[in-house]
Amino acid sequence: MDPFKSLPISIETPSAEAMLQMYFSGQGPSWCPVRPESGWFVYALEDDALLHATIFHQAMYFCKALPEIRHDYNEIWKHQTISITLINERLGNENEATSDATIAAVACLASGENSFGTSKTANVHMSGLEEMIRLRGGLQNLGMQGLLNKLIIWADQCNAAITSSGLRFNTAYFTTTDAPLSEFLMPDPEDLLDIEVTAGAPQQSVVRQYLSDDIWKMFEGLSRLTVFINAIASPTMSRKDRWLLGDKLDLVERRLLASANIVDSLRDIDDTYRIVHASCRLAAIIHVHTTMREGANTNHVVANLVQRLRSSLLELPDLSSAWSMVQELLLWVLFVGGIATIVPLERTWFVEALVEPCTTLRVQTWDAVSGILKTFFWIDKVDNSKEFGLWQEVLAVMSARGSTVT
């Protein structure tokens, strides 16, 4: 892998070589700043701590796909340990401790731990990252052509999702494209949600009236983002479009994460109303991770969000009654949770919970179900076999209970 000894570290084992080969194969989400074509590896080559942290980050995301390292986690922890040791050696010198390379190494460690490690370790890295950036004077003073900002923003969002805590960083400065994000936020009514309600009222009206203004605006943003993805997403997307998509994903997700206090304030109006909104918010964040971000549903972030979604829904003694005005919305929320979970008992719960809204809406075919789902942020280019598989399980339960429509 390194016959000319050009790397600043030695690659001595098949596992380490497999990790680097996976990295250079280009696998990974198109928006991820650590991808080799982004230019990240050029910076990693200049710093031992960052290179070890980059290998650790890559391995944490893709080790399950590599037979050579699937059962060799010692190799992964070795790179983590070496990176941490090198970072700690720099802490006595503020210039070294707050250099772009050191901050980037910590961001890689935090990102890997957020998604596939432990929340306790992730929080340690995030707190260190927060202090380093404070000493640098904020995100606006970081270099690496915006790549470092992108990774920090991603780590911040994942950590907030896992811990249910607030976001740590101000993102007034994080876009790496020429196109202003304000263009994305301009009203575009024909791109908004297209939801038919069972009562035969005009499209959108019941859902629009039921959701609070703040949550509805976030749904509007998610809807416009769906239109954008359907328009430009492809394996041959330009770097500029890829970064623009990443910025838009960050913007929408951060607003959803920051809206927790808005949802909590709805408790003063009605607790059922608050729970419905909380469930919509969590489902939207899960959808961003599992569908829009091309992410696997095996990471801690999604697992934590699905668990919280189910717990939120379980607060309602009667799901159907609580969502009586917006059954299509409930169907979408349950489908999001059902396809995202990898826990068999959770999946069974979502399948059984889907029976009632499907019966109420009188749907008994995939065409009918997908017709409803397509009104909620449907990505045309995504393989929808998971949704179809979940529907088959729901249909089996409906048949066993005699709940199918005749």
pLDDT in tens, 142-174: 998 888 998 999 889 888 888 877 888 876 544
> Torsions phi, psi of 65, nearest 5?
-90, -5
CB atoms within 10 A of CB 268: 9
* pLDDT score at 194: 41
pLDDT of residue 195: 36
Contact 132, 103 (CB under 8 A): yes
pLDDT for 10 equals 59
Give pLDDT < 50 ranges for the chain. Answer: 1-5, 65, 67, 173-204, 406
- Residues 247 and 243: their CA atoms lie apart, in Å, by 6
CA separation, residue 35 to residues 24, 26, 206, 243 (Å): 8, 7, 43, 12
Q: What is the DSSP letter of 169?
A: S
How high is the pLDDT of residue 26? 56
The pLDDT of residue 391 is 94
The model carries a pTM of 0.82
Q: CB neighbours of 313 closer than 8 A, spacing ≥ 6? A: 275, 279, 319, 333, 334, 337, 353
Are 157 and 253 within 8 A, CB to CB? yes
Scanning 186-270, the segments in alpha helix (DSSP H) are 205-210, 213-232, 239-258, 260-265
> Long-range contacts of range 266-274, CB-CB < 8 Å, 24 or more positions apart?
266/212, 272/316, 272/322
Tokens of 20: 């680097």
CA torsion 387→389→391→393, rounded to 10°?
-150
